[in-house]
């Protein structure tokens, strides 16, 4: 383990930023390949699709660049580190994994950079790596302590499988161990679902994060998963498709089957405080992005909260909109709830005012200030959907005077939301 990073070493790290711009992705691509060859058991942790597509090496290269560029001001990286640590705990990353990563990352830097990787540079990067690793290990230890001993994968049975729309199906999970207590998670958080895939590397576990789509406090955990079209399990091309695991859930996992789940985690959630108590909440989603926000909406309605809530959702057609009957029931029984449904390609059978409200993609300019509660400086905004959608929502809210600190965005995968 390296000694503490000195000011002189921090200056060396800062000076390597141009090197990372030029060689960062080369370093991280070779790093992952060499590490996984030396430690094939880590295939059980790393996302096969992100490895095959190069998404994970690109994300790590970006993270190394951000770390080096901000080595003297790590506070700006706090949101990104929070997101990463939450995901790490949902995958049960351990301190020993940081040892393996650190060893191989430094070896790869030395190999790729050759003579340019002087002893001074490598010593500085070893100290810098362990400075960051200790921050993350300590944060992850704190998160594990909140799980009431649930610090490894747990077996859950698929108690119910319900089709919610043409491409979204809900899975209701109940613990195999009758003594396992379902935690009261924060609405908006996710779980990792871990399934064994016999088609990869002669069999490997693969985990994916899915938002919990119901309010906390139930005797089950529910996720609602979109099945990506045009993908056939068994087709070699499917192994690098982003929807690979979701298709396995849809096609191969049935009621009564057992999968492994993580404890709920995630830095995207609704939490009532004295400051925001009773203030408006605006929930804006597209497609399957509604899942995390539905957990928040169900929580608010089940708490009989009187705070104003606006639900904005976009779907291609009525057949692609999940939970419409549920939303209709909530609308009928909650006078403080407004729903605004956009449909981008309505069929001839769909009637405006019955199946949806506005034709087209979600466009906040078509909503009134009253719908969005923009005059209230304490209104909270939550958005979930494709990255471009969330960035567009934030930009439009910013344009009408809503600061980014009151806008929360959810993103799965590797990396973060590019703030405007």
Q: Tens digits of per-residue pLDDT, 107-149? A: 999 999 999 999 999 999 999 999 999 999 999 999 999 999 9
Residue-wise pLDDT tens digits, 45-103: 999 888 888 999 999 999 999 999 999 999 999 999 999 999 999 999 999 999 999 99
Tell me the pLDDT tens digit for each residue of 171-180. 999 999 999 9
Question: Any catalytic annotation for residue 98?
Answer: yes
Q: Residue 415: what pLDDT?
A: 46
pLDDT digits 0-9 by tens, 216-234:
999 999 999 999 876 666 6
Domains and CATH numbers, the chain: 7-146 (1.10.490.10), 154-261 (2.40.30.10), 281-410 (3.40.50.80)
> What pLDDT, on the 0 to 100 scale, is given for residue 278?
92
Instruction: Give the percent of the chain with pLDDT over 90.
Output: 85
Work out the average pLDDT over 21-45: 96
Check residue 353 and give its pLDDT: 87
Q: Is 140 a catalytic residue?
A: yes
| Total-model pTM | 0.93
What average pLDDT is seen over the chain? 93
pLDDT at 3: 75
Catalytic residue, from 32, 65, 92, 140: name it. 140
Residue-wise pLDDT for 224-276, tens only, equals 999 987 666 667 676 677 788 999 999 999 999 999 999 999 999 999 888 88
HEC sequence for the chain: CCCCCCHHHHHHHHHCHHHHHHHHHHHHHHHHHHHHHHCHHHHHCCCHHHHHHCHHHHHHHHHHHHHHHCCCCHHHHHHHHHHHHHHHHHCCCCHHHHHHHHHHHHHHHHHHHHHHCCHHHHHHHHHHHHHHHHHHHHHHHHHHHCCCCCCCCEEEEEEEEEECCCCEEEEEEEECCCCCCCCCCCCCCEEEEEEEECCCCCCEEEEEEEEECCCCCCCCEEEEEECCCCCCCCCHHHHHCCCHHHHHHHHHCCCCCEEEECCCECCCCCCCCCCCCCCCEEEEEEHHHHHHHHHHHHHHHHCCCCCCEEEEEEECCHHHCCCHHHHHHHHHHCCCEEEEEEECCCCCCCCECCCECEECCCCHHHCCHHHHCCCCCCCEEEEECCHHHHHHHHHHHHHCCCCHHHEEEECCCCCCCCCC
Percent of the chain at pLDDT > 70 equals: 95
- pLDDT score of 417: 42
pLDDT at residue 129, as a whole number: 97
Q: List the catalytic residue out of 32, 65, 67, 98.
A: 98
pLDDT the model gives residue 239: 66
Q: Residue 420 pLDDT more than 70?
A: no
């Amino acid at each position: 383990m390296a000694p503490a990073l000195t000011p002189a070493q921090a200056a060396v790290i800062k000076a390597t930023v141009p090197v990372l711009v030029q060689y960062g992705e080369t370093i991280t691509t070779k790093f992952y390949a060499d590490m996984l060859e030396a430690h094939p058991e880590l295939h059980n942790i790393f996302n096969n699709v992100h490895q095959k597509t190069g998404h994970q090496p690109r994300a790590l290269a970006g993270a190394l660049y951000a770390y080096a560029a901000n080595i003297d001001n790590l506070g700006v990286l706090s949101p990104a580190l929070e997101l990463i640590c939450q995901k790490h705990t949902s995958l049960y990353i351990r301190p020993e994994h940081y040892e393996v990563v650190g060893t191989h990352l430094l070896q790869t830097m030395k190999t790729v950079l050759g003579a340019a990787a002087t002893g001074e540079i490598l010593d500085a990067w070893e100290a810098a790596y362990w400075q960051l690793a200790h921050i993350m290990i300590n944060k992850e230890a704190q998160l594990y302590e909140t799980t009431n001993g649930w610090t490894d994968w747990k077996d859950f049975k698929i108690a119910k499988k319900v089709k919610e729309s043409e491409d979204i199906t809900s899975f209701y999970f109940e613990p195999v161990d009758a003594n396992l207590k379902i935690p009261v998670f924060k609405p908006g958080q996710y779980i990792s679902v871990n399934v064994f895939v016999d088609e990869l590397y002669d069999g490997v576990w693969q985990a994916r994060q899915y938002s919990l789509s119901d309010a906390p406090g139930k005797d089950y955990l529910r996720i609602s998963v979109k099945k990506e079209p045009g993908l056939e399990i068994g087709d070699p091309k499917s192994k690098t498709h982003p929807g690979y695991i979701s298709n396995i859930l849809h096609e191969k996992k049935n009621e009564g089957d057992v999968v492994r789940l993580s404890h709920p985690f995630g830095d995207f959630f609704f939490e009532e405080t004295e400051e925001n108590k009773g203030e408006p909440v605006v929930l804006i989603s597209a497609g399957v992005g509604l899942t995390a926000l539905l957990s928040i909406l169900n929580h608010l309605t089940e708490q009989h909260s009187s705070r104003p809530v606006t639900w904005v959702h976009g779907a291609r057609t009525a057949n692609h909109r999940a939970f419409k009957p549920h939303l209709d029931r909530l609308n009928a029984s909650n006078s403080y709830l407004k729903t605004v449904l956009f449909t981008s390609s309505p069929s001839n059978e769909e009637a405006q005012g019955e199946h949806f409200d506005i034709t087209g993609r979600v466009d906040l300019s078509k909503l009134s200030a009253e719908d969005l509660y923009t005059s209230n400086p304490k209104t909270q905004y939550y958005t979930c959907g494709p990255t471009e959608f969330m960035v567009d929502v934030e930009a439009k809210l910013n344009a009408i005077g809503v600061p980014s600190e009151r806008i929360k965005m959810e993103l799965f995968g590797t990396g973060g939301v590019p703030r405007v």
